[in-house]
């Protein structure tokens, strides 16, 4: 029966072919999922230094590629059509003030659905209970949607030379001059007195400094001052809301006036200072005290690069009123809208927020918003942990609306005009309020109307107190 034999042979060939196909791995089996994570190198270092990402890759079978891009580079990448593998970002780490812009452009996706998915979300991770709730809400939410989890919390400290305050000779001289005990400042008047007392330009040692170079550092430092006075940018309950413009409020004018008074006790090039210069001035022992961020504190305590390691005290900024306020800022993990692997990206985020990773990242220079992190003995022992925790319940949010970048740029310009003596605090803040009103259009109104607005810019400039 030749036909039967021929059919049997064909069947054998087909079976062999099918068998070979089942043994051949599929593309998905041979090509593991790759998650591309982008963020500023300064911040991402605290994650990569933990050395834990390889363990996640082995555990999950997912490869993680870390790309160093700052906020502006990330925004540019998301704005252009993907043309190379590095354009396919899955997870980004950016300052939270960009969130409104990213949401408006449809460049990030909410994670509410992932949180509610029992096949994806780990029930042991309960962010509403385990994270500092207000910080999670402000850093990673927009409106009623959750978009991610905070990478790190940021706030500012007043860093001062505790060894000099403890010196008996300084204590005696200070008591004789100011008729009170030498101690860290609790008010801004006390801050100015300490700055004056420890200001010795002839010894290349100064009472304080300000980060007066036009740029982000100036804006952020100024915010810390106005928050301590109870001031703000907009009168809102949340960063994603619009509200009255209060930039030229009496509190802000008082804070800005105080800020400019510190210039005379600062290094002569303080108007060229940014974050790095201010940090170096403290590290090298050239200033008695300065306002620095919590993520800069580890660099003050590293004896390999700091001459003042072990000599720095950390407190919240002095209060300019009856209540205390601190500066709320941070970076947040977000999943991009163009991610090809959003579910895997979300699993990665939950792993990043795990207790082990958060502890190790905090020990490497970050500041977790997972409360249990601060139960770890090594974290508690850090000299600035107590001050950081004290700032958590008192923090003031900042705008995350889509116009936030324009508000920041306008603020940088006007604040530099103020600190460089081109205008007074009142007139400079009046002009800034008008600038922001133009930026926000009908979304906000001036709480404090500007008198003689048509004459702004024509006022007589005030001189710096150390100017000739």
The residues spanned by each domain of the chain are 31-153+329-382, 156-327+400-455
Cβ-proximal residues to 334 (8 Å cutoff; 6+ apart), any chain = 91, 92, 93, 94, 99, 102, 108, 140, 147, 148
pLDDT at 108: 98
- As a three-state string, the secondary structure of the chain is CHHHHHHHHHHHHHHHHHHHHHHCCCHHHHCCCEEEEEECHHHHHHHHCCCCHHHHHHHHCCEEEEEECCHHHHHHHHHCCCCCHHHCCCEEEEEHHHHHHHHHCCCEECCHHHHCCCCCCCCCCCHHHHECHHHHHHHHEECCEECEEEEEEECEEEEEEHHHHCCHHHHHHHHHHHCCCCCCCCEHHHHHHHHHHCCEHHHCEECCCCCCCCCHHHHHHHHHHHHHCCCCCEECCCCCCCCEECCCCHHHHHHHHHHHHHHHHCCCCHHHCCHHHHHHHHHCCCECEEEEECCCHHHHCCCCCCCCCCCEEEECCCECCCCCCEECEEEEEEEECCCCCHHHHHHHHHHHCCHHHHHHHHHCCCCCCEHHHHHCHHHHHCCCHHHHHHHHHHEECCCCCCCHHHHHHHHHHHHHHHHCCCCCHHHHHHHHHHHHHHHHHHHCCECCCCCCHHHCCCCCCCCCCCCC
Tokens representing 189? Answer: 């008047």
* Cα separation, 192 vs 140, whole angstroms: 37
CA dihedral sign, ordered 143, 412, 246, 289: positive
* Cα separation, 47 vs 139, whole angstroms: 18
In the block, residue with structure tokens 């980060």:
211
| Whether the domain at 31-153+329-382 and the domain at 156-327+400-455 fall into the same CATH topology | yes
Which among 162, 408, 428 has a CA at the least distance from the CA of 301?
162
CA distances 421 to 91, 225, 254, Å, are 43, 18, 16
Q: Is the pTM of this model over 0.85?
A: yes
* Cα separation, 48 vs 41, whole angstroms: 10
CA distances 468 to 200, 463, 465, Å, are 19, 8, 8
pLDDT tens-place values along the chain, 468 residues long: 444 344 444 443 343 333 333 333 333 455 789 999 999 999 999 999 999 999 999 999 999 999 999 999 999 999 998 777 667 899 999 999 999 999 999 999 999 999 999 999 999 999 999 999 999 999 999 999 999 999 999 999 999 999 999 999 999 999 999 999 999 999 999 999 999 999 999 999 999 999 999 999 999 999 999 999 999 999 999 999 999 999 999 999 999 999 999 999 999 999 999 999 999 999 999 999 999 999 999 999 999 999 999 999 999 999 988 888 999 999 999 999 999 999 999 999 999 999 999 999 999 999 999 999 999 999 999 999 999 999 999 999 999 999 999 999 999 999 999 999 999 999 999 999 999 999 999 999 999 999 876 434 333 332 322 222
pLDDT at 247: 98
Contact 110, 335 (CB under 8 A): no
What is 156-327+400-455's CATH number, 3.40.50.300, 3.40.190.10, 1.10.490.10, 3.30.70.100? 3.40.190.10
pLDDT at 86: 65
pLDDT at 60: 96
* Cα separation, 211 vs 280, whole angstroms: 12
In the block, residue with structure tokens 């034999």:
5
CATH superfamily, region 31-153+329-382:
Periplasmic binding protein-like II (3.40.190.10)
């Amino acid at each position: 029966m030749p036909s039967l034999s021929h059919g049997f042979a064909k069947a054998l060939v087909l079976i062999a072919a099918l068998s070979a196909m089942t043994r051949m791995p599929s593309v998905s089996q041979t090509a593991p999922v790759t998650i591309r994570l982008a963020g500023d190198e300064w911040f991402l270092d605290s994650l990569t230094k933990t050395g834990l990402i390889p363990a996640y890759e082995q555990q999950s079978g997912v490869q993680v590629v870390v790309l160093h891009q700052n906020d502006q580079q990330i925004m540019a990448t998301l704005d252009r059509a993907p043309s190379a593998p590095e354009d396919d970002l899955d997870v980004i780490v950016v300052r939270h003030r960009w969130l409104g812009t990213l949401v408006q452009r449809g460049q990030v996706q909410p994670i509410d659905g992932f949180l509610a998915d029992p096949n994806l979300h780990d029930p042991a991770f309960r962010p509403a209970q385990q994270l500092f709730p207000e910080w999670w809400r402000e850093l990673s939410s927009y409106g009623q949607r959750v978009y991610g989890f905070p990478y790190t919390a940021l706030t500012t400290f007043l860093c001062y030379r505790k060894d000099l305050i403890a010196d008996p000779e300084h204590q005696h001289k200070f008591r004789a001059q100011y008729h009170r005990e030498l101690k860290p400042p609790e008010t801004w008047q006390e801050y100015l007195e300490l700055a004056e007392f420890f200001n010795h330009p002839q010894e290349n040692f100064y009472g304080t400094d300000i980060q007066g170079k036009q740029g982000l550092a100036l804006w952020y430092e100024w915010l810390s001052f106005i928050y301590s006075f109870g001031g703000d940018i907009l009168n809102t309950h949340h960063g994603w809301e619009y509200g009255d413009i209060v930039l030229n409020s009496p509190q802000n004018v008082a804070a800005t006036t105080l800020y400019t008074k510190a210039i005379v006790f600062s290094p002569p090039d303080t108007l060229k200072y940014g974050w790095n210069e201010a940090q170096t001035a403290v590290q090298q022992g050239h200033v008695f005290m300065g306002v620095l961020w919590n993520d800069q504190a580890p660099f003050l305590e590293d004896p390999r690069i700091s001459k003042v390691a072990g000599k720095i005290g950390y407190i919240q900024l002095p209060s300019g009123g009856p209540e205390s306020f601190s500066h709320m800022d941070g970076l947040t993990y977000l999943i991009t809208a163009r991610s090809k692997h959003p579910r895997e990206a979300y699993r990665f985020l939950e792993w990043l927020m795990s207790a082990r990773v958060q502890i190790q990242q905090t020990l490497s220079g970050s500041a977790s918003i997972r409360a249990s992190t601060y139960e770890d003995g090594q974290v508690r022992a850090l000299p600035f942990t107590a001050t950081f925790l004290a700032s958590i319940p008192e923090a003031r949010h900042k705008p995350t609306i889509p116009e936030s970048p324009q508000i920041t740029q306008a603020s940088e310009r006007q604040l530099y005009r103020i600190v460089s003596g081109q205008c007074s605090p009142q007139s400079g803040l009046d002009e800034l309020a008008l600038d922001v009103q133009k930026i926000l259009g009908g979304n906000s109104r001036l709480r404090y109307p500007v008198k003689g607005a048509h004459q702004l810019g024509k006022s007589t400039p005030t001189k710096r107190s150390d100017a000739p």
